[in-house]
Every structure is written in C-alpha cells, then in structure tokens.
C-alpha cells in the first residue's frame, strides 16, 4: 500500500470491496478532518484506492500520527518512515484488513511519531458499519 496526503471526494477501491464514501469524505473535509489514502496493489497489480477520514476532531494525536505515517512527513533519520509499500499482514474476507507494520511486517512492530507508543486518547467512536478505520495498540 502507498499512502499520501489529503484527498477529497470520489468513491474508494475497486471490485467487491468498494464503498461509495464520497459524501462522507466531503463532510470530513468540511469538518476539518484530514482524508488520507492508500493505493493498493495485489500481486503488483493495482487494485484501487482506499480513502480514509482521520477523526482529528475526536482523536487528534492518533489522527496526526496516522497522517504523518501516510504522507512520509515523519523522518526521524532524515528519510521518510511510514506506510508506503507496506503490506496487509492479516486479511479476513468480508471482515477486515490489518496492515501498517512497517517495522516487522507481522503486526508486532511498534513505531509512532511520538516515540515507540502513546496513550489511548478515548474510545468514543464505535464501528457502526463498513469502511471505518481503527488503530490497534499493544495494550496499556
């Protein structure tokens, strides 16, 4: 997956896992929430773009961490660190994708723009339908 900065409007993805989030993404931009995206390839063949609203208005530190790892702005050694060319290490059909571990590639690697970890901000938002983004953590 490759990530990049703000993008607004349009649908996301291709094939059976495409959701039309156009109005939702436009509303996100109106609320001041960033929208990031991953361009996804399967076996080197482009499969579509996943667009994600980051809920900066609810979890600002978590949203900023994810945004910088998408854009490559985080550069602890001068070189960009983040999700570009990262793999989904866990796929459960019709349920979820897990990815973003660019340290170990298996979900156990840790890195964030604030050091190795940061405290949970809150648990206000719930998964109420398809297409919602969550960030996994390694516990307290």
Ordered per-residue pLDDT tens for the chain, 140 residues: 544 433 322 233 333 344 455 677 777 777 888 999 999 999 999 999 988 889 999 999 999 999 999 999 999 999 999 999 999 999 999 888 888 888 888 988 888 999 878 888 888 888 887 778 888 776 66
Q: What DSSP string describes 94-139?
A: TTEEEE--TTTSSS----BTTBS------------STT--------
Q: What is the pLDDT of residue 115?
A: 83
**Domains by residue range for the chain, with CATH:** 2-99 (2.40.100.10)
Q: What is the pLDDT of residue 71?
A: 93
Total-model pTM:
0.77
Q: What is the pLDDT of residue 22?
A: 60
CA atoms of 43 and 131, how far apart (whole Å): 23
If you ran DSSP here, which 8-state letter would residue 41 be given?
E
């Amino acid at each position: 997956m490759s990530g990049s900065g703000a993008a607004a409007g349009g649908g996301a993805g291709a094939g059976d896992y495409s959701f039309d989030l156009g109005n939702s993404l436009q509303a996100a931009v109106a609320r001041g929430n960033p929208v990031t995206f991953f361009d996804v390839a399967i076996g080197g063949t482009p499969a579509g773009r996943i667009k994600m609203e980051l809920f900066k208005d609810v979890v600002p530190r978590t949203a900023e961490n994810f945004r910088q790892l998408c854009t490559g702005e985080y550069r602890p050694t001068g070189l960009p660190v983040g999700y570009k060319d990262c793999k989904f290490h866990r796929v459960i059909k019709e349920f979820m994708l897990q990815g973003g571990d660019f340290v170990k590639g298996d979900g156990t690697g840790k890195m964030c723009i604030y050091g190795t970890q940061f405290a949970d901000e809150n648990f206000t938002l719930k998964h109420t339908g398809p297409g919602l983004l969550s960030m996994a953590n390694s516990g307290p």
